[in-house]
Amino acid sequence: MIDVDRADRIDGPLLVIEGFGQAGYGELVEVHGPTGTHLGEVLSAGEDAAVVELWGDTTGLRARDLRVRFRGEALRLGVSREMLGRVFDGLGRPRDGLPAPVPEARLDVHGAPLNPAARDYPQDVIETGISAVDGLNTLVRGQKLPIFSGAGLPHDELASQIALQARLTGGNEDDAFAVVFVALGISHDTAAYFRERFAASGMLGRTALFLNLADDPPMERIVTPRAALTLAEHLAFEHGMHVLALMTDMTNYAEALRELSARKNEVPGRKGYPGYLYTDLAGLYERCGRARGRSGSLTQIPVLSMPGDDITHPIPDLTGYITEGQIVLSRALHRAGVYPPVDVPLSLSRLMKDGIGEGRTRDDHAEVAAQLFAAYARVREVRNLALIIGESALSPTDRTYLAFGTAFEHEVLAQGMDETRTIEATLDRAWGALSRLPMDELQRVSYAQLTKHYRDAREERTRGHA
């Protein structure tokens, strides 16, 4: 630990101390000034100067009236299982007025990459109780599956519903399930909404909340997800828990990164975001998965709002390249009153294929999902055609697609905000929708599955109408 009693330049979050050559790259720095204590880390360690990046707000900091303490190690977070049920600030300090839990270990918040050869391939499903996820974009333990949303779309509702309903299939391991909730620059209202929903459902006890709210220092946002994921990794790989990390809103995180990058005079990449945005995001998103010889898992659901609903914007674009699929929300479906408004063609779960099927979910799952995707793609074409030539001019087959489309959106996709459906129920509903189509249109399902489910679903439906 070394103390220096001055800084030579202060430029926003950057502090330069000239003539000081003993800093270590990346080490934790504490700055004690008249306005309180700030944390930061060494950005450049030179023999003639050290450059420090501060995470807090530097307003009022004076160059000659402060003490800079170099801590000799990177930022560490004390982690423990007792942190479940607690609320922390963006740097992992208690925010609920209670004393900090006694740490079981103090870990570098930057973490270390999992050795690819030590990973286990994720293959066990998490049942979310939501048809659009379980049926079409199945979530697997150890997966990172973001929600791409837009301003005004119900991503908070969906994310919290997933966090509340999520359960492991095959076995009663509920006490091994934990949620780490990470708020990144969201409003107090939104944070309160999440807290209330967790509390109302009695789930607060299995949840640790890390809150960096909209009026907290943006630079702190760089640390918040790292601190939270450090706890999540500890719970998953040391305590054998199945941890779901929910991070919202990653767009605020990326903007803090851009702001910091601009302050550092770095060469900007697309839309002013730094060229290392991919590597930086990957450093967060890749902190999930399963590890050989460890029983737990770490699953991530990052939530991000796409600026201007543009999926090619750098934040969703780079996220999509790193994560194992994405759940995209559709403004059109939202306007049509469908909740959750999941944009089916654009959504995808890459790990679904190995997590579903006989012995895992149900033997017809893969075929039904493929058929729904294909048929729904056709629905969109037929709807476009109907706009031009009118519904009455459509061929009889095309009209069955319109019926299927409506049934699919309202009976399969749509569900209540508190409604939990089993995967079984979701698949049965899917057959109900598919049974609106003539049998020979169902090319993606095998004959065996058709005979098993198609006629039943059709009869079930006619009985329902009678």
Partner 1 sequence: MSLVGHLIQVTGPIARMRTVAPVGVLEHVLVGHDRLAAEVISIDHDRATVQIYEETVGLRPGEPVHGTGHPLSVVVGPGLIGQTFDGIQRPLEVVREAQGIYLRRGAAAGLPPRRWRFTPALAVGDVVGPGAVLGSVPETPLVTNRVLVPPTLRGTLVRLAPEGDLDDTDEVACVRDAAGAMHVITLLQRWPVRRARPFRERLEPDRPLITGQRVLDTFFPIVRGGSAALPGPFGAGKTVLQHSLAKWSDAQVIVYVGCGERGNEMAQVLEEFPALVDPRSGRPLMERTILVANTSNMPVAAREASVYTGITMAEYYRDQGYHVALMADSTSRWAEALREIAGRLEEMPAEEGYPAYLPSRLAAFYERAGRVTTLAGDEGSVSVIGAVSPPGGDFTEPVTQHTQRFTRAFWALERELASARHYPAVSWKGSYSFYADNVAAWWRAESGLDWLALRRRAADVLEQDARLEQMVRLVGADALPDRQRWVIDVAALIKEGVLRQNALHEIDAFCSPAKQVRLLSLFVELHDEGASLLELGVPLMQIRERLDRGRLTRLKESVANDAPELIDEVWHETRRELASLRRQAEEQAKGAAA
Q: Which residues of 164-186 are buried (b: 16+ CB within 10 A; e: fewer)?
A: bbbebbeeeeeebbbbbbbbbbb
Binding to partner 1 by CB under 8 A, coded x per residue (else -) over 380-409, reads -x--xx--xx---xxx--x-----------
Q: Does 263 bind partner 1 (CB under 8 A)?
A: no
Closest approach, Cβ 380 to partner 1, in A, equals 9
According to CB under 8 A, which residues from 45 to 104 bind partner 1? 45-48, 73-74
Q: Which of 6, 12, 24, 201 binds partner 1 (CB under 8 A)?
A: 24
* 22 part of the interface to partner 1, by CB under 8 A: yes
Q: Quick one: which segment of 92-100, 207-215, 308-316, 429-437 binds partner 1 (CB under 8 A)? A: 308-316
The 8-class DSSP code of residue 100 comes to P
Helix (H, G, I), strand (E, B) or coil at 101: coil
Q: How many CB atoms lie within 10 A of CB 36?
A: 11
Contacts 24+ apart (CB under 8 A), 90-99: 90/210, 90/211, 90/212, 90/216, 90/217, 90/220, 90/221, 90/223, 90/224, 90/227, 91/39, 91/55, 91/220, 91/223, 91/224, 91/227, 92/210, 92/227, 92/228, 92/231, 95/211
In the complex with partner 1, the residue whose CB is nearer, 310 or 418, is 310
Q: Which x/- pattern, by CB under 8 A, does the window 337-366 give for partner 1? A: --------xx-x-xx-xx-----------x
Smallest separation, CB 203 to partner 1 (Å) = 27
Tell me the longest C-alpha to C-alpha distance in the chain.
Answer: 87
Among residues 251 and 415, whose Cβ is nearest to partner 1?
Answer: 251
Name the segment binding partner 1 (CB under 8 A); options: 54-62, 152-160, 376-384, 402-410: 376-384
Say how many C-beta atoms besides its own lie within 10 A of residue 385's C-beta. 16
Binders of partner 1 among 104-163, rule CB under 8 A?
A: 108, 110-122, 142-143
Residue with tokens 């198609």: 454
Those residues whose C-beta lies under 8 Å from the C-beta of residue 387, and which sit 6 or more positions away, are none
CB of 288 to partner 1, least distance (A): 8
Residue 241 binds partner 1, judged by CB under 8 A: no
What's the rounded Cα separation, in Å, for the pair 401 and 434? 9
SS3 240: coil
Q: Which is nearer to partner 1, 227 or 351 (CB)?
A: 351
Per CB under 8 A, contacts with partner 1 among 284-303 are: 286-287, 289-294
Q: CB under 8 A: which stretch of 56-64, 124-132, 185-193, 271-279 binds partner 1? A: 271-279
The footprint of partner 1 on residues 157-216 (CB under 8 A) is: none
Q: Record the tokens describing residue 252, joined without a space.
A: 């605020």
Alpha carbons 184 and 196: distance in angstroms, whole number: 18
Measured from the CB atom, is 26 or 103 closer to partner 1? 26
Q: How many residues bind partner 1 (CB under 8 A)?
A: 85
Q: How far is the CB of 49 from partner 1 (least distance, A)?
A: 9
Site for partner 1 (CB under 8 A): which residue of 55, 198, 210, 237? 237
Q: 313 to 332, contacts with partner 1 by CB under 8 A?
A: 313-314, 317-318, 320-322, 324-326
DSSP E strands in 137-176: the ranges are 139-140, 147-149, 167-168
